[in-house]
Amino acid sequence: MEDILTQEEIDLLIKAATQPDLELDLETEPESPGSTRYDFSRPNKFSKEHLRALHRIHEQFCRTYAGYMSAKLRHRVDLRVHTIEQILFGDFVRSLPNPSVLSIYQVQPLEGYAIVQFTPDIAFLLHDRLCGGDGVPIRRARSLTDIEVAVLKRQVLSVFSSLLSDAWREVSELNFALDYMENNPQFLQVAADRDAVALITMRFELNEISDMISICLPHRTLEPILKDLTHIRMFESLQQPDPRRIELLKEQVRAAVVPVEVELGQTTVTVGDLLDLAPGDVVVLDRKKHETLDVKIGSMTKFKGTPGRLGTRLGVVITTVLEPEEEGGLVDE
């Protein structure tokens, strides 16, 4: 035999047998250049391709949800994907603060759950804003009252689940249905501690207050559709859009209400002259009567027109449609 133990190695083995608690300083075999370490206690259930697909899905969700909440709260809301990683469910639970605002959704028709976590600061900020306040979180963390939970369910979480279902529709027809809410992370029993989960962390900003919203998707829940969670499938769905969705979007755009204004001209007066104005006074504008008027859609000049009268009503006749580059130069600052 080529590998013969030396006397020193024999002495170490005898000590290890007689003293179990003794730590041996044995040389380990160096790793080969092409090898990589693998931790069997933390198996990789989600590939890089899966994580990239999850990032794309939730980026789309963030844009839609931020736009909806901005209109609802009448204030700019920013929501964007911060990180996507694979961790163990037990690590996710231990990382959550207590109390938290935890919403547990059934992912139909799959057999499993998804967890959405809001911090108390975000929950109280949204509740205050929805109830007419300035949107200021409370100083001391506490659990939500029944009234606060009812407001969040109706005004925030129901829309959250609906738009999240829409974002996943490119991959599979999933329906995220709110099952129940919890405030103590230790009471979450939707997966085992050693189960792998995909954790999507999104940064939420409102009123210069920034915090995180998390979505936890267990591997066991998504396993039946993981084969569809690829860039190829998603790009194919983009190349073949659903005609019904296109018609629905067209109808929504046609039904949108936008302000239209006609600017007769501008002038500058002193505050004294403004206060002395009376019926019959004439204010001279900077535009000649034969010049065309600016027709604005919102704050952007989109058309040129001439004033006129139609019966007893004043009106304007559109004479020119401005090109996009022309519109940019005529935006009212």
In terms of C-beta density within 10 A (0-12 exposed, 13-18 middle, 19 or more buried), how is residue 103 classed? buried
> Angle 294-298-303 (CA atoms, 0-180°, nearest 5)?
30
Q: Is the peptide bond before 99 cis (omega within 30 degrees of 0)?
A: yes
The closest of 174, 264, 196 to 50, measured between CA atoms, is 196
Question: What are phi and psi for residue 180, nearest 5 degrees?
Answer: -160, 170
The closest of 41, 164, 50 to 106, measured between CA atoms, is 164
Per-residue pLDDT 10s for the chain (333 aa) are 445 667 777 777 777 777 655 554 544 555 555 555 655 555 577 888 888 889 999 999 999 998 888 888 888 889 999 999 999 999 999 988 888 899 999 999 998 899 999 988 888 888 888 888 777 766 666 778 888 889 888 888 988 999 999 999 888 889 999 999 998 888 888 888 888 999 999 999 987 788 899 999 999 998 888 888 775 455 555 556 678 888 888 888 888 888 888 888 888 989 998 899 999 898 888 888 788 888 888 778 888 888 888 888 888 888 888 887 665 544 443
In terms of C-beta density within 10 A (0-12 exposed, 13-18 middle, 19 or more buried), how is residue 60 classed? middle
The three-state secondary structure class of 38 is coil
pLDDT in tens, 101-139: 999 999 999 988 999 999 888 888 888 888 887 777 666
How crowded is residue 332: how many other Cβ atoms within 10 Å of its Cβ?
12
d(CA 318, CA 303): 7
Written as one letter, the residue type at 81 is V
Written as one letter, the residue type at 179 is D
The closest of 98, 54, 65 to 200, measured between CA atoms, is 54
Tokens of 25: 């300083």
Tokens of 182: 């919890």
* Res 331: pLDDT: 41
* Res 332: pLDDT: 42
pLDDT in tens, 15-43: 777 765 555 454 455 555 555 565 555 55
How crowded is residue 238: how many other Cβ atoms within 10 Å of its Cβ?
8
The three-state secondary structure class of 43 is coil
The pTM is what? 0.58
For the chain, the residue count is: 333
* Res 73: pLDDT: 84
The three-state secondary structure class of 62 is helix
* Res 1: pLDDT: 44
Question: What are phi and psi for residue 125, nearest 5 degrees?
Answer: -65, -45
The three-state secondary structure class of 330 is coil
d(CA 96, CA 104): 14
The three-state secondary structure class of 103 is strand
User: Do residues 61 and 165 touch, judged by C-beta distance below 8 A?
Assistant: no
Instruction: Please name the residues in contact with 315: beta carbons below 8 A apart, sequence gap of 6 or more.
Output: 307, 308, 309
* Res 326: pLDDT: 61
Question: What are phi and psi for residue 85, nearest 5 degrees?
Answer: -145, 160
Q: H-type helices in the chain, by residue range?
A: 7-18, 48-73, 89-95, 120-130, 146-152, 158-168, 219-222, 231-239, 243-254, 271-275, 324-329
d(CA 229, CA 110): 15
Written as one letter, the residue type at 198 is A
